[in-house]
Structures are given as C-alpha cells and as structure tokens.
C-alpha cells in the first residue's frame, strides 16, 4: 500500500492547488453552499488525480464531475492543463465497458450451461437450503448498498467491488484527516488574528 503520509501530502498539495485555481479570490461567491461544494469537489478531484486513473472509483468520480453541467467548469479549472490525459482515461466511459463485460460474461455462461452434464448433488435438508438462500439474499442486499456507496460501483463484479472499496476507504480516511487538520489550523489562525 502506498505510504499514508506521502499520500496525504500529495493530496494536500493538489487540493490547495485546485482551490487556488478555482479563482475564488476574484469571484464573490458568498453562498456557503457554493463554497462547500467547491471545497468538496476540489478535494475529490485532487484525490482522484493522485490515483492517476488506476482505480475505477477515481475514474468514475472524474467522469461524474465532468458530466454535471454545474460542476463541469469548476472541474476543468481545477484539474488544470495536465488533466487532458486524465480526462481521456476517465472519459472512455467506464460504465459502458463494464456493462459490456458483464453482458459478455452472461452470454458465456448461458452457452456453457447448455452443455453441462447433470452432476448428482447430495440433497441438503430443507432447512439448510432455505437458510442458505436467506443468507445469500442478505449478502446480495448489502452488496447492492455498497455498490451505491462507492462511486462507479454499480458496474463492477463482486471481486473488483471489494478491491475498490478497500482503496476507497483508504482514500476517505486520508481525506478526512487532511481536511480536519486544515480546518483546525485555519480556525486557530482566524482566532488568533481576531
């Protein structure tokens, strides 16, 4: 795993750069919600760019950001000139690719199953069977919830979903730590200057 402290430093650098590029000093955006959105967006994009398009969730984040009309301009500004390669990587529309992959897997399964021999299974008692199906349904429900949480998760199969979750959790932790630190630092500075 990447060393967490270097990850955080990289994230911090990119985040500050992105915020500065937002050009907030010029505009008078007094609304708190706008500022909050800008901060969150720049943080997300900074983190996504540190992954350099290697993980699915980072690509999905960038793709989502560039798709919304309101955040598109901000995103382009924040990502800056070196973003061209990143945007190309993320704009290859991961959902289409992933759904294509899933569809081809289904076709393969269907073609294979037509030739499968009947294997004599040892029949389990009814209780065990229903317990198994209940457990499976529970797990399936939770997997769907997780897919909705992780960006770009709807199009992944189970195995890659778990890997993406691992990465995403590491990223969220780093982001929370950095933002917390910056928030406390700015508050103290404000307090002192008042």
Contact residues for other proteins, defined by CB under 8 A: 1, 5, 8-9, 16, 19-20, 22, 24-25, 32-33, 35-36, 38-40, 43, 112, 116-117, 119, 121-122, 135, 138-139, 142-143, 145-146, 149-150, 158-159, 162-163, 165-170, 172-173, 175-177, 179-193
Among residues 128 and 139, whose Cβ is nearest to other proteins? 139
Among residues 1 and 126, whose Cβ is nearest to other proteins? 1
> Considering the complex, what minimum distance in angstroms separates the CB of residue 194 from other proteins?
9
In whole angstroms, give the CA distance from residue 61 to residue 7. Answer: 18
Q: Say how far residue 84 (Cα) sits from the centre of its chain.
A: 20
In whole angstroms, give the CA distance from residue 121 to residue 30. Answer: 68
Among residues 93 and 172, whose Cβ is nearest to other proteins? 172
> Considering the complex, what minimum distance in angstroms separates the CB of residue 174 from other proteins?
10
- Expressed in angstroms, the distance from the first to the final Cα of the chain is 42
Among residues 33 and 127, whose Cβ is nearest to other proteins? 33
In whole angstroms, give the CA distance from residue 27 to residue 121. Answer: 70
Instruction: Name the token pair of 158.
Output: 């189970």
**Which residue from 45, 48, 98 is spatially nearest to 73, judged by alpha carbons?**
45
């Amino acid at each position: 795993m990447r060393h967490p402290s270097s990850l955080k430093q990289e994230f911090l650098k990119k985040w500050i750069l992105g915020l500065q590029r937002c050009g907030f000093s010029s505009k008078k955006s007094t609304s708190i919600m706008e500022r909050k959105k800008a901060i969150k967006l720049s943080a997300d994009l900074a983190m996504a760019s540190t992954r350099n398009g290697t993980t699915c969730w980072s690509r999905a984040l960038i793709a989502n950001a560039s798709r919304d009309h309101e955040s598109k301009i901000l995103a382009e500004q924040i990502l800056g000139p070196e973003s061209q390669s990143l945007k190309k990587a993320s704009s290859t529309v991961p959902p289409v690719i992933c759904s294509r992959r899933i569809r081809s897997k289904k076709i393969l399964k269907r073609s294979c199953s037509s030739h499968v021999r009947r294997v004599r299974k040892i029949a389990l008692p009814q209780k065990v069977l229903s317990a198994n199906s209940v457990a499976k349904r529970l797990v399936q429900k939770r997997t769907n919830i997780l897919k909705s949480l992780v960006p770009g998760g709807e199009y992944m199969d189970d195995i890659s979903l778990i890997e993406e979750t691992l990465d995403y959790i590491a990223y969220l932790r780093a982001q929370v730590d950095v933002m917390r630190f910056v928030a406390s630092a700015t508050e103290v500075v404000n307090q002192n200057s008042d």
